[in-house]
Structure 1
Amino acid sequence: MSPTVELTWDQVLSWRMDRHFLDRPRGVDPVQIVGRLSGVQAQVASSAELALAVRRAEREADVAGALFDRSLVKTWAMRGTLHLLRSEDAPAYLSLIASARTWLTPSWQREFATATQMEAIADAASAVLKGAVLTREELAREIAERTGDRPLADKLTSGWGALLKPLAWQGLLCNGISRGNRVTFTSPTTWLPTWKGLPEPDEAARAAIPAYLAAHGPAGPSGFNKWLTRGALRKLLTRRWFAELAEDGVLTPVRVEDETLYARTDDLDTLTTTTPTDRVRFLPGFDQYVLGPGTNDHRVLATARRGWVSRAAGWIAPIVVSRGQVAGTWKIDGSSLFVELFAESDPVARDAIEAERGVLEDALGERLTTSVVEV
């Protein structure tokens, strides 16, 4: 199928900014934002809350309330990181992540646990979490007792959660409401009223791929695969899913300058009529705007600047977005907002920086002074 729609990257990035709610419409709640973004990374809870707050005209984002009423769920998902997901969307994403079976690779088993051990852990977790909410230590103790494998307890209490992630992907475990500063776990089966188990991967792909493209498109099978599983899904399989959705009219191939990618057919009108924007936005660390396409996407983040954003130990820095591209980074130290603008990027107006400082002040509830340097 030859693409007939021609787009520029300036159009695409401007369209994405709108789809990411960076026009800050009124009346949008956190659950809608999380749904549109295909999840919000929540390794750092304050970053997740700020990602929602800076996308809302009202600023306040009641994440705790959405977790309490279970319209949102926190669990290990994309790329093995903790995410906030809309509860009704979680099964499709988890099904695809689980289908890669990354915990059965020889290297994973050598480092963490054998396939036999993981099967025993899964059986034990299913039994003990049904109708229960347990701390990490309580869960580790119960699993060790049921499996008779006492050394597993130490691995299960690891802060990185290596042995618990496959349970989350299989729909056997999710986060409950924390007890003070102690994380808890429970079963989605009894925790989430909308939970119906994991769909088959083919069915899941029909939901997850268009959902991803609704905010991060146009994109191709490779981009989707890297975002979801760091490329662990079979390439032939992801290409087939995209091709089938295109055959059914759900997706349409488009040409974005020198690349053929896919967009949702429903988005073609807005994509083709979008005009480049000069909008400036300050987004927090681990923001979906850069994680959706990936920090190695040079259209969003210049290759030479990737190290400024993607830092040691998986840390993703807060970013300045101008004209749809990353134009710098920022940080807050005490009451000071330090902004570093990339010298090669288009100039960012001082009044736009001050406006974004005001947004951060509203979201954080504190006054800030601004320092700007070019790097």
Structure 2
Amino acid sequence: MTAAPDVPVLTDREVGLARLVSHGLVAPADVAPEDVVRRLGAVQAQDLPGALVAVGLRRAAGAAGLREAFDEARVVRTWPMRGTLHLVPAEELRPWLAVLGPRTAASVAARRRALGVDEVLDAARGTALAALRHGPQPRERLHAAWEEAGLLGVPGRAYHLMFALHLEATLCLGPLTGDARDQLVVPVADWLPVPVTGDAGPAAPGDAGPAAPGDEGVPPVVVRWLRRYLRGHGPVSLDDAARWSALPKSVVRAAAAGLDDVVAVHDRRGRELWCAPEVLEELPRAARRAAGVFLLPSFDEFVLGYGDRSHVLAEDRAARIVPGGNGVFRPVVVAGGRIVGTWGRRRRAAGDELVLEPFEELSPARRRAAERAFARLPALP
């Protein structure tokens, strides 16, 4: 991974447009849901319905086949990093948690001690697996089983027991519920019975495949996920990659050194960003479509996939997409490669209506484009 001496310099607008291309939002491909997740490395999924829409927007088939991807154990949901729920390709769950699970557990160790989680974890594990012998169950069923076994009684313990059992890859969230607004809990050993061997998995579109550990001893899964992150989110900095993956910057830099399918660009402030070379090649042809209007769901990777959002979001507008700084990100309107407002829907007997809350007045043409984007939004499966 080396930067050429004549590194292109991109404006903020060009960075935003290129990211839309990288995300697959400009020309959604004819790919399976799990391929979208692999392309990005993982998909933010604090809000499951929003995550389903996010995947559907990046596929030519939209929401078609989404339920099957979960019900057939091709995509799962867990806490792989930063204590945040994500969709992950099923074959990556074990290797990624082997790297990041202990780091996340260490970050909440004080809270676990205060709740007495570790003292009851073995009993909670056995109780949960017993409750799951009859098939996938809602989280509430496991909470009730723990309550019946006398393992709760402390506010917050049920959540942290579930969290701990996910981090150790005992449990994960698998099939969708009937309304697709939640998932059922499954035991990883039964739901994903074939362990990943050789730390390899299917390649994402444009993925050069797993890399062998370098002299630095970087696990192949880290190299693989970094490649997918840079190619699926670029142009993006290695600092953002470290924040996204919750890995030390030194590890990310070591993993990046072995990549030969990303190239460097600079932004107008001289910062080094990385992306797939074909994105730069495609950008002149795709710029007009990329400059159109996109409606993205809450917690979309176009927003949350970056710590530095300054290329696509004015600093004085940041509070508008996270009102009150409560961590709940609103759905956003993107136009011209930048976030220009938020949106919602109003339920009507005759059908849902789009409610736009732009930062500044939108032109009639952009409002019409937003209405068309609203009509194209994937429905929940």
Bin of the TM-score, shorter chain as denominator length: 0.7 to 0.9
**For 1:241, what is the secondary structure of its paired residue?**
helix
**CA offsets 1:257-290 (integer angstroms, 9 cap, x no match):** 33443535xx225326623552221111111111
* TM-score, length-scaled by structure 1: 0.77
Decide whether the 8 Å contact of 2:23 with 2:232 is kept in 1: yes
* CA spacing shift, 1:211–1:243, aligned 2, 3 Å: same
Q: Report deviation, 1:317.
A: 0.8
Show the counterpart of 2:327: 314
Q: Which amino acid aligns with 1:150?
A: L
- Report the Cα distance in structure 1 between the residues aligned to 2:251 and 2:48, rounded to whole angstroms: 36
- Report the Cα distance in structure 1 between the residues aligned to 2:269 and 2:281, rounded to whole angstroms: 16
Show the counterpart of 2:253: 242
- Report the Cα distance in structure 1 between the residues aligned to 2:109 and 2:31, rounded to whole angstroms: 45
Show the counterpart of 2:66: 63
Show the counterpart of 1:257: 268
Show the counterpart of 1:31: 34
Show the counterpart of 1:287: 300
Q: Report deviation, 1:110.
A: 4.6
2:116 to 104, 113, 117: 113
Q: How many residues align?
A: 348
- Report the Cα distance in structure 2 between the residues aligned to 1:98 and 1:360, rounded to whole angstroms: 38
1:304 to 299, 316, 324: 316
Decide whether the 8 Å contact of 1:72 with 1:84 is kept in 2: yes
* CA spacing shift, 1:310–1:61, aligned 2, 3 Å: farther
Show the counterpart of 2:283: 274
- Report the Cα distance in structure 1 between the residues aligned to 2:171 and 2:106, rounded to whole angstroms: 16
Show the counterpart of 2:168: 170
Q: Report deviation, 1:252.
A: 4.8
- Report the Cα distance in structure 1 between the residues aligned to 2:27 and 2:294, rounded to whole angstroms: 10
Q: Which amino acid aligns with 1:268?
A: P
Q: Which moved more, 1:93-102 or 1:305-314?
A: 93-102
Decide whether the 8 Å contact of 1:22 with 1:55 is kept in 2: yes
Q: Which 5+ residue runs of structure 1 have no aligned equivalent?
A: 366-375
Q: Which amino acid aligns with 1:166?
A: A
* CA spacing shift, 1:153–1:189, aligned 2, 3 Å: farther
**CA offsets 1:130-162 (integer angstroms, 9 cap, x no match):** 7853443443465678xx7633686454xxx33
1:220 to 223, 227, 237: 237
Q: Which 5+ residue runs of structure 2 have no aligned equivalent?
A: 200-216
- Report the Cα distance in structure 1 between the residues aligned to 2:143 and 2:21, rounded to whole angstroms: 44
Q: Report deviation, 1:220.
A: 3.2
Counterparts of 1:123-272 in structure 2, within 5 Å, are 133-140=136-143, 150-151=151-152, 155-157=156-158, 161-177=159-175, 183-192=183-192, 195-196=195-196, 202-229=219-246, 233=247, 235=248, 238-247=249-258, 249=260, 251-261=262-272, 263=274, 267-271=276-280
Show the counterpart of 1:358: 372
* CA spacing shift, 1:132–1:13, aligned 2, 3 Å: same
Q: CA RMSD in A?
A: 3.5
Q: Which amino acid aligns with 2:24?
A: F
* CA spacing shift, 1:358–1:197, aligned 2, 3 Å: same
Q: Report deviation, 1:58.
A: 4.3
Structure with more contact order per residue of length (Cα contacts < 8 Å, sep ≥ 6)? 2
* TM-score, length-scaled by structure 2: 0.76
Q: Which amino acid aligns with 2:9?
A: L
- Report the Cα distance in structure 2 between the residues aligned to 1:362 and 1:15, rounded to whole angstroms: 22
* CA spacing shift, 1:257–1:126, aligned 2, 3 Å: farther
Decide whether the 8 Å contact of 1:92 with 1:208 is kept in 2: no
* CA spacing shift, 1:239–1:11, aligned 2, 3 Å: farther
Decide whether the 8 Å contact of 2:226 with 2:255 is kept in 1: no
* CA spacing shift, 1:6–1:180, aligned 2, 3 Å: closer
Q: Report deviation, 1:247.
A: 4.6
Q: Which amino acid aligns with 1:224?
A: A
> Would you say 1:10 and 2:13 are equivalent positions?
yes
* CA spacing shift, 1:211–1:244, aligned 2, 3 Å: closer
